[in-house]
Amino acid sequence: MRADRAAVSWASPRAILGENLFCSRGVSLSVRSAHWNIQGVLRFGPLQPLHMPIMGPFALLPFMECSHRIASMKHRVDGILFVNGKRIRFENAEGYIEGDRGRSFPREYAWSQCLFPEGSLMLAAARVPVGPIAFPGVIALLKIRGREYRFASYLGARLVSARGGWMEIRQRNLVLTAERIGQAGQPLNAPVCGAMTRTIHENLCCPVRYQLRKDGSILWKLETDRASFELEYPC
């Protein structure tokens, strides 16, 4: 079963990795290995990019070892994949797209992402080196029912805690928390100076509790078993 590339109107810019194609309108997958055979096409509905890059002015700094970009907070996904012969249909499903550009992941970082019926969330914190020193950088975006809550170091946000599956960031009178329920995730290769020689641990789909508070009062909370979570801070 081969992926039908003609099923997607491939737009520029696009990325081609072997027989796999990726662009803003969808993906065409053709993966064969000793353990996996993945074929199929997924088509994306209109993407929801941010009106302002999540990293703000920090995206322009040349010394950043890793620059983060959100391509779409939430969009529709339709298509069919065949995974080791099993047919998986996506119909009016939901997708999220982000990416990192650089040569290394931060030495210490935390990240979580989740889609839910009323919106979408992404939050991250990292040790950002600046010459001989480093500072804790923070970015986060919660979109709920059309409203946007943005946390960022350039807006005064700071990391309160990132330990043992718990993340907490604060920006003036707003506090956003994420708590992973369960153990660290599966090992995954990550870059160090351009080479994939580091091992991190990622929970691609796991239970997480989120909460947004303002002046101590809860504005929003969510407990889901379909969140992603990484935490590479020392315990």
Residue 188: beta bridge partners? 200
Indicate the SS3 state at residue 57.
Answer: helix
- Provide the pLDDT confidence category of residue 1 given band limits of 50, 70 and 90: very low
Supply the pLDDT for residue 129.
82
What confidence tens digit (pLDDT) does each residue in 5-35 have? 555 555 656 788 889 999 989 999 999 999 9
Indicate the SS3 state at residue 156.
Answer: coil
Measured between alpha carbons, how far is 10 from 20 in angstroms, rounded to an integer? 12
Supply the pLDDT for residue 65.
83
Mean pLDDT score across all residues of the chain? 90
5 half-sphere exposure, CB direction, 13 A CA radius: 10
Supply the pLDDT for residue 123.
96
**Segment holding 203, helix H or strand E:** strand 195-214
Using alpha carbons only, what angle is made at residue 146 by residues 43 and 27, rounded to the nearest 5 degrees?
Answer: 15
What confidence tens digit (pLDDT) does each residue in 40-59 have? 999 999 999 998 899 888 87
What is this structure's pTM?
0.88
| Token pair belonging to 86 | 């099993």
Measured between alpha carbons, how far is 2 from 81 in angstroms, rounded to an integer? 10
What confidence tens digit (pLDDT) does each residue in 185-203 have? 889 899 888 899 999 999 9
Supply the pLDDT for residue 27.
94
Measured between alpha carbons, how far is 38 from 31 in angstroms, rounded to an integer? 5
Contact 134, 109 (CB under 8 A): no
Supply the pLDDT for residue 152.
95
What confidence tens digit (pLDDT) does each residue in 103-135 have? 888 889 999 999 999 999 999 999 888 777 888
Measured between alpha carbons, how far is 54 from 73 in angstroms, rounded to an integer? 11
Q: In the chain, what is the greatest distance between 2 CA atoms, to the nearest angstrom? A: 56
The backbone region for 169, taken as left when phi is positive above 0, alpha when psi lies in -120 to 50, beta otherwise, is beta
Supply the pLDDT for residue 15.
86
Contact 124, 139 (CB under 8 A): yes
